[in-house]
Amino acid sequence: MLAAVAVNLRSAASRAFSKSLPNSTFSLSPLRSRFSIRAMADSAGPFKKVQIQRDDTAFDAYIVGKEDAPGIVVLQEWWGVDFEIKNHAVKISELAPGFKALIPDLYRGKVGLDVAEAQHLMDGLDWQGAVKDIQASVNWLKANGSKKVGVTGFCMGGALSIASSVLVPEVDAVVAFYGVPSSELADPAQAKAPIQAHFGELDSFVGFSDVTAAKSLGEKLKASGVPYEVHLYPGNAHAFMNRSEDGVKRRKGMGMPDEDEAAVQLAWSRFQSWMTRHLSA
């Protein structure tokens, strides 16, 4: 039974992405996905690497920010723990009044270099196991100086962050970017922590992060009774928060040429206000 649910979760997420991707230089090549996946570079930069134990497994996590600040678990896109999710974590750590950001490595060291590899990795993700990783990360932060802990995520991580509000009682607040969990994983109508969510109006990932999915999420969050906000950004497609040079190039290669710095800054401002409000001790 559990194995069947896991397969359903993987196939639903995969369908949402593969059906919506335009033809591009980021071709879906299952052969290449088996051979090109590489381990994340060990260059730590501003991050401290720790290992977190849960059940009978352990995973690496990358931490940046003030030691005793409110904690925020930062969840990867389908690429893995790559340059862009690290950029987001650094940005979060620098927002006033200061946060301690932790990235759990859900793929256990693997990073997709193109769409084919990313899809291969996401297809293989144990989503229930990822939720357990999130819970262990939240509890690690609370045991190491953070009185309250939020969860945020982008794309795949956005869906998981919403799921954490339903499934991880230790979560104090969530901000999700362009991703909604499948009904098999979590029902947002059962959310227990406040949720703020961000979507681009031009997002084409049907049922996962398009306008219809965003509006459906809002209806379910209203039913949950928790504080919530759902924001739509006109003229913006999926992953509009990715503003590094490499991130912009990658989005363009996937048929998403929009660049809207004002929308990005507005989203970060809303993020900052939400997390400050709900994570204040």
What does the pLDDT look like over 3-45, one tens digit per residue?
444 445 554 555 555 555 544 333 333 334 443 444 444 456 7
User: Mean pLDDT score of the chain, rounded to an integer?
Assistant: 89
> What is the per-residue pLDDT for 45?
76
Which whole number is the average pLDDT over 252-280?
Answer: 96
Share of the chain above pLDDT 90, in %: 83
DSSP type of residue 170: T
> What is the per-residue pLDDT for 19?
55
> What is the per-residue pLDDT for 20?
58
List pLDDT tens digits, range 111-162.
999 999 999 999 999 999 999 999 999 999 999 999 999 999 999 999 999 9
Structure tokens that stand for 110 in this block: 């693997």
| Residue type at 8 in one-letter notation | N
> What is the per-residue pLDDT for 25?
36
> Has residue 99 got a pLDDT over 80?
yes
Which helix (H) or strand (E) covers residue 159, if one does? Answer: helix 156-167
> What is the per-residue pLDDT for 17?
56
Closest to 151 in 3D by CA, of 14, 17, 278:
278
Whole-number Å distance between alpha carbons of 172 and 159: 17
Share of the chain above pLDDT 70, in %: 84
Q: What distance, in Å, lies between the first and last C-alpha atoms of the chain?
A: 41
Q: What angle is formed at CA 22 by the lines to CA 16 and CA 28, rounded to 5 degrees?
A: 75
DSSP type of residue 180: -
> What is the per-residue pLDDT for 172?
98
Structure-model confidence comparison of residues 177 and 11, the more confident one: 177
pTM above 0.85, yes or no: yes
> What is the per-residue pLDDT for 52?
98
> What is the per-residue pLDDT for 9?
53
> What is the per-residue pLDDT for 174?
99
Whole-number Å distance between alpha carbons of 170 and 138: 7
> Has residue 58 got a pLDDT over 60?
yes
Whole-number Å distance between alpha carbons of 181 and 161: 9
Structure-model confidence comparison of residues 53 and 1, the more confident one: 53
> Has residue 182 got a pLDDT over 50?
yes
Q: Is the dihedral of CA 272, 265, 18, 113 positive or negative?
A: negative
Say what the alpha-carbon torsion angle 240, 242, 243, 246 is, to the nearest 10 degrees: -130
| pLDDT class of 177 with cuts at 50, 70, 90 | very high
223 half-sphere exposure, CB direction, 13 A CA radius: 10
Whole-number Å distance between alpha carbons of 224 and 227: 9
List pLDDT tens digits, range 195-253.
999 999 999 999 999 999 999 999 999 999 999 999 999 999 999 999 999 999 999 99
